[in-house]
Amino acid sequence: MTNNRSRSFFSLTNSDCHYPDPKVEFRFTPQPTGVFFAQTHQPDVVYRSIKMVKRNLTSTTLDTLVSLAKRRGFVFQSSEIYGGLSSVWDYGPVGVELKRNVKDTWWKSMVRERDDVVGIDASILMHPDVWAASGHLESFSDPLVECQDCHKRFRQDQVQTDSCPNCEGQFGEPRQFNLMFKTFMGPVEDETSTVYMRPETAQAMFVNFENVQTTSRKKIPFGIAQIGKSFRNEITPGNFTFRTREFEQMEMEFFCEPGSDEEWHQYWMNFSLNWFKDHGIRGEKLMLRVHEADELPHYSKASADVEYKFPWGWGELETISNRTDYDLKAHAKKSGKDLSYFDDQKKQRYVPFVVEPAMGADRSALAFLADAYDEEGEGKQQRTVLRFHPDIAPFHIAILPLSRNEKLTPTARRVYDILRPHFNTQYDDSQSIGRRYRRQDEIGTPLCVTVDFETVEDDDAVTIRNRDSMDQVRVPVENLESAIRDQLNNMRVDSQG
């Protein structure tokens, strides 16, 4: 529910602009050339031109990404054989690995590697009172305008002109449209059996606050994270998997003492921006956009979006909001349950404040795909390559016997069995080796391991071919696992944004 308003840009870390004094805070304004102008109120630093380019990859169009996604098994149109269901997408064998890696990597950074965040996996259907208390029944809506001629509907804040972009007809009066999907629970379809498909995962963390806090014995500050499906009856879905009606969110509610919320908000904004960079998104394609006061959702005191520069322009990947004590208080009031917390060190009882990083798994996967895309070389040497960070790449390794010759197969399968428990590994023996390298480049597999006749007849060594440099090294099978680990680690460092 963001609106198109005047935009301000700023960054939280000085490492982004290589400025030596960590106390100087910058505001960044991106320029068309990829350069950012940084502005600060510090008297000795007025304007600086900062270039945050590290890797120089080719930009591409959305059409190219959509066709690559289909051709290589990342994403298909839902129900395609029936003509497709508009704005609904299915992940194929390669895409499901990509999206799973995005979610697993987030879960690892957010839950497994931290002492102060635990996870839950809650149901999509919740008690209808949850949505009354949270304010979604009343105000989870977007302004909708309808063309009086062609009757197409648009989100008012997304149309740039006064007339219909479809037929230039006139719009009627804007009205609010609630985005929640409704369904019925049980055999009777009436108002008393109406339930909603959750439009965000966050509410499950609020209503389970006490259960989780007491069973995990966590003390404030601590967070509850969840990954799961959400549903919104979007007025204008589009841009491939960017805005759909069914999508997956990765959200974390961080409960903290009132008064410490602004500091935690700053911390989680920083964390979020760095998470994308650490996993391969280029810094110059990312920015943090602070919401204007009139753009804030009803529950938020302050929000900022991590935005990515998609082929069609800047788009939100994640919102980090200071939700205050709004949700816990609203649920306490509606349910009659006390959701306050007793701080036994300070001997104080209070309702915690909440800072929320809320990210979309599908949008993030699309950003990783767009950002990894590169083309290089000419003529026969030309190739498309997805330069994913190894933790995000759908597969780590492809085992490629030089040909389907029966002499090679047993050794190639043995190498496959050695690597499979440690890495996400594909086996491919169809078509020429050159074509197979290209195919692996196009799905972003960091390393290919080739088994040839020398392997079988002579040295029990294989060739590792690096996706980015195309360098090849010969390694004895007994050292293969550690050689692969080293190469993947190097690629992790090289691909940081």
Which residues here bind ligand ATP, judged by CB under 6 A?
A: 1-2, 232, 234, 243-244, 247, 249, 316-319, 358-360, 362-363
Cβ 116 to ligand ATP, closest distance in Å?
22
Strand partners, 170: 163
Residue that has been written with the tokens 């102060």 in this structure = 116
What are the DSSP E strand ranges found in 162-202? 175-178, 182-184, 194-196
Give whichever of 2 and 445 is closer to ligand ATP, judged by the CB atom. 2
Give whichever of 234 and 454 is closer to ligand ATP, judged by the CB atom. 234
Query: Structure tokens of 273?
Result: 């921006």
Give whichever of 291 and 465 is closer to ligand ATP, judged by the CB atom. 291
**195 to each of 140, 201, 413, how far by Cα in Å?**
15, 15, 51
Cβ 310 to ligand ATP, closest distance in Å?
11
- Report the distance separating Cα 486 and Cα 327, nearest Å: 47
Give whichever of 124 and 461 is closer to ligand ATP, judged by the CB atom. 124
Give whichever of 2 and 487 is closer to ligand ATP, judged by the CB atom. 2
Please name the residues in contact with 399: beta carbons below 8 A apart, sequence gap of 6 or more: 412, 415, 416, 419, 425, 426, 427, 428, 449, 451
Upper half-sphere CA count for residue 2 (Cβ side, 13 Å): 21
Cβ 227 to ligand ATP, closest distance in Å?
11
Cβ 415 to ligand ATP, closest distance in Å?
39
Cβ 2 to ligand ATP, closest distance in Å?
4
Of all residues in the shown chain, the one whose CB is closest to ligand ATP is 360
Cβ 208 to ligand ATP, closest distance in Å?
19
Cβ 228 to ligand ATP, closest distance in Å?
11
Q: What is the dihedral of CA 441, 446, 451, 455, to 10 degrees?
A: 140
Give whichever of 19 and 89 is closer to ligand ATP, judged by the CB atom. 89
- Identify how many contiguous H helices and E strands the chain contains and give both numbers: 13, 27
Query: Structure tokens of 357?
Result: 């990083």
Give whichever of 78 and 403 is closer to ligand ATP, judged by the CB atom. 78
